[in-house]
Amino acid sequence: MSAAQPPPDDRVRAYIGLGANIGQPALALRQAMAAIAALPGTVLTRQSASYRSAPLDAGGPDYLNAVVEVATGLTPEALLAALQDIERVAGRTRPYPNAPRTLDLDLLLYGDAHIDTPSLTVPHPRMGQRAFVLVPLAEIAPERVSPRQLAALTSQVIARIPPGADDEDLATGASHD
Ligand code: AMP
């Protein structure tokens, strides 16, 4: 096994939040999941359904969000850098805070690590205030989200999107189910 592919026991379970609200969000999330699954030393082990919600603290189209679980041998810093590369390839720019985005990737949790550096805070500092993070996270890792946390966010409306829905379905409200 090469240095980039550590044995499974050396891997850390990490959770990544995905979001997009311009361009083709369903396609962007699918492509981002494929890119995450292809990262060195990384296996995508679970993925949530997608959820649609209105932007928080910002205007613009509704967001599509999901959360994935990976087992990774990358350090948290290397994983964040890799996620930022994936955002760049998806055409992400940061013209102003909370601007609409083709793809946003957040490192939510990295094992049980607590990290606080100028470029990286883990657990992600705002994840506890966001239903679009905690609801999909609870779907794939219920042990990482308490019922009390979820109960505090019930005023935030989010809609679960049927599996397989593409951007055309989202625009028309149709589904493949
Ligand atoms: P955003 O524009 O919302 O994607 O924020 C990206 C900025 O947040 C970058 O400068 C990152 O270095 C920083 N950041 C800090 N902690 C995290 C995290 N856990 N996940 C993603 N970005 C983070």
Which of 65, 79, 80 most suits a substitution to test ligand 1, by most atoms within 8 Å of the C-beta? 80
From ligand 1's centre to the CA of 50, what distance in Å? 21
Q: What are the residue boundaries of the structural domains of the chain, listed by start?
A: 12-164
Ligand 1 in contact with 88 (CB < 6 A)? no
pTM: 0.90
Q: What is the dihedral of CA 78, 28, 98, 170, to 10 degrees?
A: -150
The domain 12-164: what is its CATH number?
A: 3.30.70.560
Residue 163 banded pLDDT, cuts 50, 70, 90 = confident
Q: Tell me what pLDDT residue 171 has.
A: 78
Distance between CA 148 and CA 58 in Å, rounded? 26
Pick the atom of ligand 1 nearest to 97's CA: 2
Which residue in 11, 92, 130, 144 is the catalytic one?
Answer: 92
Distance between CA 82 and CA 39 in Å, rounded? 8
Amino acid found at 84: Q
Element spanning 160, H or E: strand 158-161
Residues 6+ apart with CB under 8 A from 27: 166, 167
Other beta carbons within 10 Å of 175: 13
Percent of the chain at pLDDT exceeding 90: 72
Q: Tell me what pLDDT residue 58 has.
A: 78
103-139 tens-digit pLDDT: 999 999 999 999 999 999 999 999 999 999 999 999 9
Name which residue leads in pLDDT, 168 or 135.
Answer: 135
Distance between CA 9 and CA 28 in Å, rounded? 31
Distance between CA 21 and CA 177 in Å, rounded? 23
Distance between CA 50 and CA 33 in Å, rounded? 12
Which of 79, 124, 132, 133 most suits a substitution to test ligand 1, by most atoms within 8 Å of the C-beta? 124
Distance between CA 12 and CA 150 in Å, rounded? 25
